[in-house]
Amino acid sequence: GRSRVVYEIKVKGNFSAKLNATNVVLKIPCPSNTAKCSLKPHQGKAKYNPGQNAIIWKMKKFPGDESYTLKGEVRMVASIEDKTWSRPPITMEFQVPMFTASGLHVRFMKVFERNNYETVKWVRYMTRAGQYQIRI
């Protein structure tokens, strides 16, 4: 049977170069019989987590319009039965401050309050990844 899996994963920021994604985490599944893993991330840090049977690739800062690649190889323990690997999806978490994926913007807001409430003219936009997955 097969004794290794070769990975080449490319991630591209599909938003303005003026913005940065933060706390970017990719979870890349590996076969359950993984023995050894060698990884070369272009940006950030990557390591194999045996408890999750996955490679965890973390980047603190990801500029828009940039692309980064993770190259790696996973060696597997030889097994008697050669069952196929289901290849679960890659999951991704991230945040993009001051960006709305929908393009929605607040133009004005009025506050009607009898207590002379002092308003501050400031809006914070935050885009967070909900359940973002891609099949491999």
For 60-98, what is each residue's pLDDT tens digit?
A: 999 999 999 999 999 998 876 767 778 899 999 999 988
Predicted pLDDT at 119: 78
For 56-82, b where at least 16 C-beta lie within 10 A, e where not — what string? ebebeebbbeeebebebebebeeeeee
Predicted pLDDT at 1: 57
SS3 assignment, position 42:
coil
E strand or H helix at 29, and its extent? strand 20-29
Predicted pLDDT at 92: 93
Residue 17 has pLDDT above 70, yes or no: yes
Span 98-129, pLDDT tens digits: 888 888 888 887 778 778 777 788 888 888 87
DSSP assignment of 51-78 equals: TTTEEEEEEEEEETT-EEEEEEEEEE--
Tokens, residue 50? 């045996």
Predicted pLDDT at 82: 67
Enter the DSSP assignment of 110: -
Between residues 129 and 40, the one the model is more confident about: 40
